[in-house]
Amino acid sequence: MSNILLINPHTPKFVKRRDKYIPHGLLYLASTLQRDGHQVQIIDANNDLLNLQQEKRESCIEYYYSQKFISKLNAFKPDLVGIGGLFSGCFKASIFISRIIKKHYPDIPIVLGGIHPTMFPKEILKDYLCIDYIILGEGEVSFSKLIKSHFNDKKIIKDIGGIAFRENGKVTINPRTKFNDNLDDLPFPAYDLLNLKEYYMDTAHWHNPKNLPINIPLPIISSRSCPYHCTFCSVFLMQGRGYRPRSPKNVVDEIEYLYKEYNHRYFSFMDDNFTLSKKRTLDICNEIINRRLNIQFDTPNGISIKTLDKEVIDVLIQAGLIRTCIAIESGSEFIRNQVIQKGLPTQTIYDFFEMVEDYKDLHIKAFFIIGYPQETKETLKETYKMIKRIPIEQVGIFFLALYPGTTIFKYCQDNNLVSYSPNNLHNIDTLYYYENDAPLIKPYQLKIEDLIEFRKKAYDFINQRRAKLCLNPIEY
């Protein structure tokens, strides 16, 4: 068996909010590797740096990697290193870390995973010799097989789906042909490898109707992928098409374990479509209620209004839901349903907000995307009208991000709307960041400035509404 080191890279400077977060994907990998008998350690460089003095961040990075990081590396003496990345912005940090490791231990194989290397395996392996392997998509099964191949039988690597590697100087990509359908078979994330108290942050200002300790949201992934085909969405690149749920019992078993073992009371369901199945949603909530788990939870990724009715909302709140994000995308039915292909009628949105008005302890945030090629002044007016009409305290307005492999990316390429070189997309880390200060493409009938001004106008309105409610202004 081997010593496997898993690393969560630091968040880049251009990200506005450098929050603490649990490296959940690495914890899933770690528990699978532990089950295989490997010794596993996690270095969370992001959290380590956030725990250093924020006002000295630049000097902290140099100090951390030259001293503390190397000390941990030397102490563990890994046989193989895996580096994750929550989003594309972490890519340059991953390369930076890989080069440090190769400088001190040139023979240690380094494996890269996450959405960015999944989109660009060939380009990354060609340009960066510090990376030896890439995992495509979710990695629990393929990563374990890769370790076995590297240390025991290199011939079997050709039969491992979902990996990329160099062989005799040539990049080979083994496409992923299947995903794990039995998610209950995966062990729970390896929280034993973290000191949770190092992740605690000031949550005194958070919405907390039950007055329970929050400390840090613990992520729960109760299902993977989504059956819908929104043109901007890239989740299928990591998790495939379709919908793969865990059983309600297995989901609540994990919550109960964290509840009892770590005395934790706050959770975040990170699914891309948590409430897709009404029966399953009711079953999960009833499991929480019947086990008398006194918890609170949120759904930060955005859930579909189409899946919510009063019965579902009632049981979600009874189980502990206090905050949710609703993915509306646009106030224009043309943009929302013909361009994005969301299949969500405008009246359904208004009916939902009328239905939830009486739930005073439920905080709702609405997500909107602006800047599609077909966006016009009229479609922006429709979005503004909806923002004014629906009773929400928070809104997220994001410029369209272009992920290679998505329908909208291909459309923009085919219509010469992408101004940057297609040969260097893997090095443009801000390209895939949803909170950029300016749009990356110009709609046919609008100027870039039109989109920037619209977003400011909408946020100004929301802040004025929040001020009347004596709430803090939102940041953007």
Please write the tens of the pLDDT for every residue from 251-272: 999 999 999 999 999 999 999 9
> CB of 94 within 8 A of CB of 20?
no
The neighbour count for residue 346, using CB atoms within 10 Å, is: 16
d(CA 370, CA 379): 9
Q: Which residue has the tokens 């788990």?
A: 293
d(CA 322, CA 300): 11
Question: What residues of the chain score a pLDDT lower than 50?
Answer: none
Q: Is the dihedral of CA 52, 434, 392, 255 positive or negative?
A: negative
> CB of 303 within 8 A of CB of 256?
no
> CB of 131 within 8 A of CB of 80?
no
For residue 326, report the phi and psi dihedrals to the nearest 5 degrees.
-110, 125
Residue type, 168: N
For residue 453, report the phi and psi dihedrals to the nearest 5 degrees.
-65, -35
d(CA 448, CA 186): 46
For the CA atoms of 414, 419, 420, 423, what is the dihedral angle to 10 degrees? 30
d(CA 207, CA 450): 34
The highest-level CATH class for domain 3-174 is: alpha beta
d(CA 164, CA 166): 7
pLDDT of residue 210: 97
pLDDT of residue 58: 57
d(CA 351, CA 257): 38
Query: Cα dist. 476→149, 206, 292, 315, 464 in Å?
Result: 47, 18, 39, 33, 14
Q: Domain segments of the chain: what residues?
A: 3-174, 183-468
Residue type, 288: I
For the CA atoms of 374, 378, 382, 385, what is the dihedral angle to 10 degrees? 150
Which among 111, 135, 143, 131 has a CA at the least distance from the CA of 33? Answer: 143
pLDDT of residue 97: 97
Gyration radius from the chain CA atoms: 23
d(CA 425, CA 319): 44
Q: Where on the phi/psi map is residue 43: left (φ > 0), alpha (ψ -120 to 50), or beta?
A: beta
Q: CATH code for 183-468?
A: 3.80.30.20
> CB of 111 within 8 A of CB of 162?
no
Q: pLDDT tens-digit profile of 410-434?
A: 999 999 888 777 778 888 877 666 6
pLDDT of residue 1: 82
Q: How many residues does the chain have?
A: 476
For residue 55, report the phi and psi dihedrals to the nearest 5 degrees.
-70, -10
Please calculate the CA angle 259-262-268 and round it to the nearest 5 degrees.
55
d(CA 223, CA 225): 7
pLDDT of residue 53: 64
